[in-house]
Structure 1
Amino acid sequence: MDYDVAVSFAEEQRDAVGEAVEAWRQRGLTVLHGPDQTHEWWSHKESGDLPDARVRFFVPFVSSVDDFAAAMLRAVKAGDEHVLPVLAGSLEVPAELSHPHIAYLRDSEGLTEALAARIEASSLSAPVADIVTGAREFVAPAAVPATFSRYAEQDAAMRYLGEQFAAALPGLSRRGFAGTAHVGDARISVRIERAGDTLYALDIQRGGIGGDETVNFVVGRHDAGSACSNGWARPVYDLSAGAAVLELHDLSVLGRGAEPRSYRREELFAALWQRINTVLAATMG
């Protein structure tokens, strides 16, 4: 049998949804609605146990974003044209489940006419079992979190590298070197000397040729304000790791000149420190 809509609801919405369904039927819409067909019911039925019916829309009334509601909202965001949530009250869809071009129906005075307009504009129906199980099983592709900030990651990288160099450099005195670090907000200056001669110099700067969100590396002594770079690290979000990393474009800061490579902050400091030790070992002959 074909219906215009099938309805799902939370237990506390039972009476309000019953009134909405009655208004829809009076409007001439056909509705698949059972008193026990709550979100809990729809979420635990296997495909073969769900109603043998086709619908244009599966309409879950969403008053809070539980697991079932989240699955329905993810399906809508992914482009499922048969899931049509109705948001209750002042509920807002979480940013990670919303899409700027999706307009949700509201459980308000104009809901019946708004739903009728959607139905009149739709000519396609599908088995309700396929709609529900498909939405439940949909796995959203990994996405960059809305709160990811390249500038916040740049700031964290500068702060971490400054702290690590400031802690590590004094230990070089045990090997006959003098290591100093000047840590500022926009620049970290690392200098390593022996008997007053500079053996290694590294400036780590906020921004540079890779963009103002990058961390720029300049090896060797140079004129203040000169535009040069031995590499830069750009904060990116690694979807496979589920974490922010630094994508290093190494011109020569690590002596590699290789394709861009991703580092965690800890890994990048370790690589820079290893490079320094390689250079210092070479000066010892």
Structure 2
Amino acid sequence: MTSNREEIYDLAVSFAGEHREYVERTVRSCERLGLRVFYDRDMNNGWWGKSFIREQREVYSSRTRFFVPFISTEYLAKPIPMDEFSAAMMTAVKQGDGYVLPVLMDDVQVPPDLLHPHIHYLRAKDYSPELLAKQMHARVRQAENVGQQAREVGEVVHEALNRRLPKVVPGDFSKYEELQIVFDYFASQFQTVAPLLRPRGFICTVNRTQERISIRIEKRSEIVYSLDIYKGGSMGDDKLTFGLDHHRSFATGINGWTEPYFDVEADIPKLKMMDLSVLGSFGGSEREFTKEELFDALWERIVDRLEQR
């Protein structure tokens, strides 16, 4: 494919293959009105039903006055986050970049936090391809009249991917959902590593209920380590609590607890851990972990204890 660096387009379109018929009719109508449109099928190298950017990054060197994503349920499902270009364009839509003219297909429900309140968009169900082409023609001519220059596609991608965004807790983050995820993860990981101890002379059993994970490690029928992880408890139902040696009738104390939270700097869920002794601290110390890091720390402590037997 030859470079498109000298090409200037009025429009560049992106869409899911399921809507090719509508998009192609729109493209041809735009061309009949004298617009130059970057359209994958015209590039003559087999981009059937695919996002042209995903297939040919050379198009980044093209310049166009407007990028037109035909946003559908399929479009949202396929390119994001797999395709950095489409993700960047959707970021531009969210930020209200006037370079992007979104067309909403069918009755697609775009997340309310995705469309900038000042973004201008059209719904395909309100326009035939021919009428939509007339709208685009008017927008392009308006841009020409006010001196709006064509922009290089790659420049817009770079800006969208690197623009600073607010660091906030996601609206769908739930402490209780994350607590269940962590609880399930710990149960699964302990069940996975338990058989590894048998060749070393230790028998590890892991019993799980809806509210409790019980780990018991024996050597020659003697319990040499026990740990119970409770969902909820006296520290609050949004925490996991840890108890050592609860196999003994007199041992009921808490040796630590952990609480999920969302780390906005790292952009991931994490755990705040108050360690009273379950990880080896005495007197209490607060630490932060991912669930993977906390499991590793628990396992390292267990191995240390077993090596002392």
Of residues 32, 35, 38 in structure 2, which corresponds to 1:33? 35
Mapped pair 1:139 → 2:156: no
Residue pairs, 1:234-245, within 5 angstroms:
234=260
Give the corresponding residue for 2:68: 60
* Alpha-carbon separation, structure 2, partners of 1:164 and 1:245: 22
Of residues 9, 13, 30 in structure 2, which corresponds to 1:9? 13
Residue pairs, 1:40-119, within 5 angstroms:
44=58, 50=63, 58-62=66-70, 65=75, 69-90=86-107, 99=114, 104-109=121-126
Any idea what SS the aligned residue of 2:243 has?
Answer: strand
Q: Which protein is bigger by CA-based radius of gyration?
A: 1
Any idea what SS the aligned residue of 2:213 has?
Answer: strand
Q: 1:204 offset after TM fit, Å?
A: 0.8
Question: Structure 2 length as normaliser, TM-score?
Answer: 0.55
* Alpha-carbon separation, structure 2, partners of 1:165 and 1:106: 54
Structure 1 pair 187–77 and aligned structure 2 pair: CA distance change class (3 A): same
Residue pairs, 1:1-285, within 5 angstroms:
6-9=10-13, 12=21, 13-17=23-27, 19=29, 33-34=35-36, 36-38=37-39, 44=58, 50=63, 58-62=66-70, 65=75, 69-90=86-107, 99=114, 104-109=121-126, 126-129=148-151, 132-137=153-158, 138-139=160-161, 150-151=178-179, 153-164=181-192, 166-167=194-195, 174=201, 181-191=206-216, 200-208=225-233, 212=237, 214-221=239-246, 228-232=254-258, 234=260, 248-256=273-281, 258-263=285-290, 265=292, 268-280=294-306
Query: What runs of 5+ residues in structure 2 fail to find an aligned partner?
Result: 1-8, 15-19, 44-51
What is the identity, as a one-letter code, of the residue corresponding to 2:13?
F
Any idea what SS the aligned residue of 2:241 has?
Answer: strand
Identity in percent: 25
* Alpha-carbon separation, structure 2, partners of 1:191 and 1:234: 25
Query: What runs of 5+ residues in structure 1 fail to find an aligned partner?
Result: 26-31
* Alpha-carbon separation, structure 2, partners of 1:278 and 1:244: 28
> Does the CA contact (< 8 Å) of 2:179 and 2:260 recur in 1?
no
Question: Structure 1 length as normaliser, TM-score?
Answer: 0.58
Structure 1 pair 86–20 and aligned structure 2 pair: CA distance change class (3 A): farther
